[in-house]
Amino acid sequence: MTMKRQLKLVGTEEADPVTVKVAFASSDRQRVDQHFGAAEGFAVYRVGPSGYSLLEVAQFGRLDMDGNEDKLGAKIEALDGCVAVYCQAVGASAIGKLRAQGVQPIKVTPGTLISALLHALKRELRDGPSAWLQRAIEQQAPRSASRFDAMAAEGWQE
């Protein structure tokens, strides 16, 4: 299964020093209304403590829930750089593949408004992220070479 259409927005500037990229399994880009494996599309946003912006929309077309694992590859590839994907359901094999790529699957009630989830995530980033979100932020932060200098300054004991 390949992606049918993809729209990427360019020129979206990061206003916040800490931002995360998240996706929502949605057919209308307003509500989370799709099972991950059969998702017709994803709306991908960048979220920071002071706001959020739409980065891209990917469309896959309608799929049956047939257990065909081939459909997962293109969907997981479309989530490159995302720390989470919000969906109404997700299968066990998809969970394993998503986590291996550093993407946290988050199940929400069908029909949950994307705007409400974005506001909650923005508030969480501002007030202090939960454990999974803090790990995701740390994993996407570039490693500093100076950390080795700090370890060397501490000294080593055997």
- SS3 track for the chain: CCCCEEEECCCCCCCCCCCEEEEEECCCCCEECCEHHHCCEEEEEEEECCEEEEEEEEECCCCCCCCCCHHHHHHHHHCCCCCEEEECECCHHHHHHHHHCCCEEEECCCCEEHHHHHHHHHHHHHHCCCHHHHHHHHHHCCCCCHHHHHHHHHCCCC
Q: Cβ(102)–Cβ(139) under 8 Å?
A: yes
Type of residue numbered 104: Q
Predicted local confidence at residue 13, as pLDDT? 54
pTM for this structure?
0.79
For 124, phi and psi rounded to 5 degrees? -65, -40
Report CA Rg, the chain. 18
Nearest to 75 by CA among 102, 47, 100, 41: 41
Structure tokens at 133: 């979100």
pLDDT bin (cut points 50, 70, 90) of residue 1 is very low
CB neighbour list of residue 138: distance below 8 Å, 6 or more residues apart:
none
> Which is higher by pLDDT, 90 or 148?
90
**Average pLDDT over every residue of 71-87:** 92
**Average pLDDT over every residue of 27-32:** 95
d(CA 54, CA 138): 23
Give residue 81's domain range.
Answer: 5-154
Range among 4-13, 65-74, 115-124, 145-154 rated most confident: 115-124
Q: In total, how many domains does the chain have?
A: 1
Q: What is the CATH number of the domain that holds 70?
A: 3.30.420.130
